Amino acid sequence: MSQSKLITYGIIVFIGLIAILTFSNATFLTIESGERGVLFKRFGGGLDKENIYDPGFHVIAPWNVMYVYDIREKQLDEDMTVLSSNGLNIKVEVTVRVNPRYDNIGDLHEKFGPQYIESLVRPEVRSSVREIIGQFSPEELYSTKRNEVQIMIQEDLNENLGENYVDLRATLIRNIELPDKVRAAIESKIEAEQQALKYEYILQQERKEAERKIIEAEAKSESNRILSASLTDKILQDKGIEATLQLANSPNSKVIVVGGGDKGGLPLILGNN
């Protein structure tokens, strides 16, 4: 009877141990806000990519493993040296912001694992920057093509990362550093081009001013020609009479001789003042 009780107690203890193991702390899991989980079922088909676990409290069997992913946006800063189209070393500082697609955490885990930033994002950034920068000369990178380069890197990364379940939020070129001699030569060339544009503008203004004066002179010449053609003897005589009447009404002493003997018969005005 005593042995029977021991067996019973042993069974109870065993079941209790199993229960304790089953419901131990290892089987209780809390997924925080901004996180998602994907479950690996050791005895039930492996990685369960179809079911993504949302934030909250979860209970899992102790032989299963929950992989928790932070799905919030992450920033990667990359400083690297690349070759331009003419083979010069260019130092580039790039920042990208990414986050995993939480609906595809299972696929991302299967292909790259929790360290996807190092195994996927960083290599893609370095590859894309090298490929795009290599299409441009140092002068283009320094002056006119920087925004275009940034857009091209953004588009290339967006496609490559998107195929691997990662969303690209932003791509920023923080700095492009050229060798000192190259930068000085480019700055000198840009300054010379700006000076040439300034002189060209001045010449254009001078040409416009010269054209304006020519047009003004031609207009005055044409006006004088028309006026000369319209001044007949009768008009001159009328103008003379108008002037005589105005002077006759002035307070200054004068002698007016009407019909001065010339052909036009205009008045002659003799005065002391």
pLDDT tens, residue by residue, 20-68: 665 554 577 888 898 999 998 888 788 888 888 899 988 888 788 889 9
Domain boundaries along the sequence of the chain: 2-70, 74-178, 189-230, 233-271
Please provide the size of the chain in residues. 273
Provide CATH code, domain 74-178: 3.30.479.30
pTM of the predicted model over 0.95:
no
Average pLDDT over residues 197-220: 76
pLDDT per position as a tens digit, 95-112: 999 999 988 999 999 999
Report whether 107 contacts 49 (CB < 8 A).
Answer: yes
**Is residue 126 a contact partner of residue 82, using CB atoms and an 8 Å limit?**
no
Confidence of residue 215 (pLDDT cuts 50, 70, 90): confident
